[in-house]
Amino acid sequence: MLKVQEIRELIKLIDESSIDEFDYESNGTKVSMKKQTGEVIQERTVVSEPVVRQETAAPAASPAPAQSQEQVKEEPEPAQPKEQNAGDFDHEIVSPMVGTFYSSPEPESDAFVKKGDKVDKDTVVCIVEAMKLFNEIEADVSGEIVEILVEDGELVEYGQPLFRVKA
């Protein structure tokens, strides 16, 4: 069962790559994407009921994929105003790679760190998953977490700020 966030990640990765066509099928869910004139066009056939409830964002009609692509591009922008309200911090912990941000080692576990937690240079603050490899990200600075800039499960870019730390 694919989540909306995972589909958005796929769209972005396909859009940024040289791949012209992509098909994926798992557990009764099929996702097909084809690039035409620089846009990613989506076609989905959804068989299982829970996936239908989660994926109300874009049906497979041809005008809708262009709207869906615009929505995906607008998604990361709300994070930028958060980054612009410069608060009381000395250091930003940034993502060393493109991948998916996870705040805890397992979905049912507590987060590695929360706002207000004290960290050391070798404290693991999150995991960034790239191509099924889970990379533990360390603080690289001692201090207090004053802001968490990304949500659990969010796609992060290389060099994107993840946390702000007051040394």
The share of the chain scoring above pLDDT 70, in percent, equals 68
> For residue 24, which amino acid is it?
Y
Answer yes or no: are the C-beta atoms of 95 and 156 closer than 8 Å: yes
Domain carrying residue 58: 4-74
Give the Cα-Cα-Cα angle 36, 42, 47 (nearest 5 degrees): 155
Domain boundary among 18, 49, 74: 74
Answer yes or no: are the C-beta atoms of 43 and 96 closer than 8 Å: no
Are 152 and 83 part of one and the same domain?
A: yes
Domain boundary among 18, 48, 74: 74
Are 16 and 87 part of one and the same domain?
A: no
Are 30 and 57 part of one and the same domain?
A: yes
| Cα–Cα dist 98/160, whole Å | 9
Are 150 and 83 part of one and the same domain?
A: yes
Are 89 and 54 part of one and the same domain?
A: no
Are 37 and 54 part of one and the same domain?
A: yes
Q: Quick one: CA dihedral 21, 24, 25, 27, positive or negative? A: negative
pLDDT of residue 120: 93
The chain-wide mean pLDDT, for the chain, equals 75
Are 64 and 24 part of one and the same domain?
A: yes
Reported in sequence order, the residue ranges of 8-160 that DSSP labels E, i.e. its strands, are 21-26, 29-36, 39-46, 91-94, 99-102, 118-119, 124-130, 133-138, 143-148, 155-156
CATH assignment of the domain containing 151 = 2.40.50.100
Domain boundary among 74, 91, 107: 74
Answer yes or no: are the C-beta atoms of 154 and 78 closer than 8 Å: no
Number of structural domains in the chain: 2
Are 91 and 115 part of one and the same domain?
A: yes
Are 55 and 125 part of one and the same domain?
A: no
Answer yes or no: are the C-beta atoms of 33 and 41 closer than 8 Å: yes
pTM over 0.75: no
Mean pLDDT of 119-144: 92
Mean pLDDT of 147-166: 93
Are 16 and 54 part of one and the same domain?
A: yes
Mean pLDDT of 58-73: 46
| Cα–Cα dist 61/41, whole Å | 10
